[in-house]
Amino acid sequence: MRFLRRSLTGLFLLAATLGLLVYAGALVWGAVETRMADEPRIPDAEERVFSVNVVEATPRTETPVLTAYGSVESRRTLEIRTEAAGRIVELAEDFDAGRQVEAGQLLARIDPADAEAALDRARSALTDARAEARDARRAVELARENLAAAEEQAQLYERAFTRQQDLVDRGVGSASAAETAELQASTARAAVIQRRQSLSDAEARVSQAETAISRTEIDVAEAERRLEATEIRADFAGVLSDVSVVEGRLVSTNEQIATLIDPDALEVAFRVSTQGFARLLNESGRVRPAPVTATLDVYGTDLVAEGRIDRASPQVGEGQTGRLVYARLTSSAGFQPGDFVTVRVDEPDIENVVRLPATALGPNGDVLLVGADDRLEAAAVELVRRQGDDILVSAGTITGRQVVAQRTPLLGSGIKVRARSMAPPEDAEARVEDDLMDLSEERRERLRAFVEGSDRMPDAAKERILAQLSEPRVPAAMVARLEARIGG
């Protein structure tokens, strides 16, 4: 009986399981048929709206700035060289690199003993030549007196001969007396000729003496010049550099011992592209004296010097491109030759242009405008100039329109946007430059200690930075530059 009961229970459970499986299969099949019989349900689509920053296109007259990099050079540099060879016996106290010297100041002296001896010999020879000239002039005077006496005596003999000849013609004189008088007259004429020859020799002696005086004067002048060459003086006021001599050293002729630089006669040499150089030319094809600003970044503050373009290099160096331009600096406090500076040159004004962020220009030379129903429109513009992170484009058809400031691959014609106005590029730059920040006392003292302990910073720059650090609010740009250099 127990076996039968268990068998019936198993059959019941098996039948129930099969029934449940069939029921589950029917439910699944019905669900699939219902799903396949239903029509697909499409959700309602919503248009995506992008937020964009826009700038109003306001035409104005802009002054483009050409930015280049160059180095400061001295327009007045003198190599101090020795004209004479010898031993340095005296050096000026200020004859050191970096010292300021005045015009005409004695810098060094070479042993003048040989030059002084040569000058004494030349002066002695000049004295002898002048004495010989005096003797020659006295000899000329005596020769002239002798000539006058001989001419007077010859005249007497001529008259005596004439008288004897007259007596012979009248028959009262002898022929022998006439011949004697004639011989005496001839002898007197010969004496006159000899006296003339003596006078000529005396005058020639005077000429030779004057020539000797001129020659010895030249020797004296040369000896004086050689003596002056033993003294090395500054031709103009300036600063010494590359000093390479000490007292007691032997120097040779034309040896360079130092360099004299005029710190007030500086210029900046910078290279620009050929296209940029063409914009610096005037109507006659010459470089315009355009205003120039040279900026030197000195540990958190900028040294600024102003000047004007002076000239351009007449040739392009081998392996180089563009043009080398020189500009004279009118105010260059704190600048030194060799400084690497940023040069900004004001170009001629451009009228009716719009300043936009550089990110507003597309790769195909167009910009996106906000049109009707807040949808974007593409407009072609003419790029006039690039100015750092900004561009200058011709106003044209975009005057007064809202231009997308930052383009992204998601933006294009027909896209609906939500416009947000932003400040013009130049106003944004002004705000960045004018940003001030508060400093904690610890941070302020750290910056002040760095500035005071810097050896490379000019004193004028230190004073300006310390004065700014003493203010309650400090320029953020200056703090960022200082901390970048000290690793803060």
pLDDT of residue 433: 44
pLDDT of residue 425: 56
Higher pLDDT among residues 65 and 183, named by residue: 65
77-86, 163-172, 359-368, 375-384: segment of lowest average pLDDT:
163-172
pTM for the full predicted model? 0.60
Interval 182-195 mean pLDDT: 79
Q: What SS3 class is residue 436?
A: strand
For the cut 90, the answer to whether the pLDDT of residue 327 exceeds it is yes
pLDDT of residue 456: 65
- Domain 76-108+238-260 indexed as CATH 3.40.50.300: no
Q: What SS3 class is residue 30?
A: helix
Cβ atoms of residues 86 and 437 within 8 Å: no
Q: Which DSSP letter does residue 414 get?
A: T
Amino acid at 468: Q
pLDDT of residue 41: 60
pLDDT of residue 70: 92
Cβ atoms of residues 261 and 74 within 8 Å: yes
Q: What SS3 class is residue 344?
A: strand
Interval 92-116 mean pLDDT: 87
pLDDT of residue 40: 59
- Domain 350-430 indexed as CATH 2.40.420: yes
- Residue for token digits 């010494």? 240
* pLDDT tens figures, 20-39: 888 888 888 877 777 777 66
Beta bridge partners, 344, equal 67, 293
Closest by CA to 80, choosing from 264, 227, 235, is: 235
Closest by CA to 52, choosing from 364, 368, 362, 361, is: 368
Cβ atoms of residues 73 and 324 within 8 Å: no
Domain ranges of the chain: 76-108+238-260, 114-229, 265-346, 350-430, 435-486
Residue 158 exposed, middle or buried by CB count within 10 Å (0-12, 13-18, 19+): middle
Higher pLDDT among residues 170 and 28, named by residue: 28
Q: Exposure string (b/e) for 117-127, b if CB count within 10 Å is 16 or more?
A: ebbeebeebbe
Cβ atoms of residues 147 and 139 within 8 Å: no
pLDDT of residue 430: 43
Residue 414 — φ and ψ, nearest 5°? Answer: 90, -10
Q: Which DSSP letter does residue 204 get?
A: H
For the cut 70, the answer to whether the pLDDT of residue 427 exceeds it is no
For the cut 70, the answer to whether the pLDDT of residue 429 exceeds it is no
pLDDT of residue 98: 80
Cβ atoms of residues 453 and 417 within 8 Å: no
What mean pLDDT, rounded, does the chain reach? 83
Q: CATH topology of 76-108+238-260 equal to that of 265-346?
A: no
- Domain 265-346 indexed as CATH 2.40.30: yes
| Strands of 22-155, DSSP E | 50-56, 60-62, 65-74, 77-81, 86-91, 100-101, 106-110
154-158, 174-178, 351-355: segment of lowest average pLDDT:
174-178
Higher pLDDT among residues 268 and 400, named by residue: 268
For the cut 50, the answer to whether the pLDDT of residue 261 exceeds it is yes
Interval 387-413 mean pLDDT: 86
* pLDDT tens figures, 67-77: 999 999 988 88
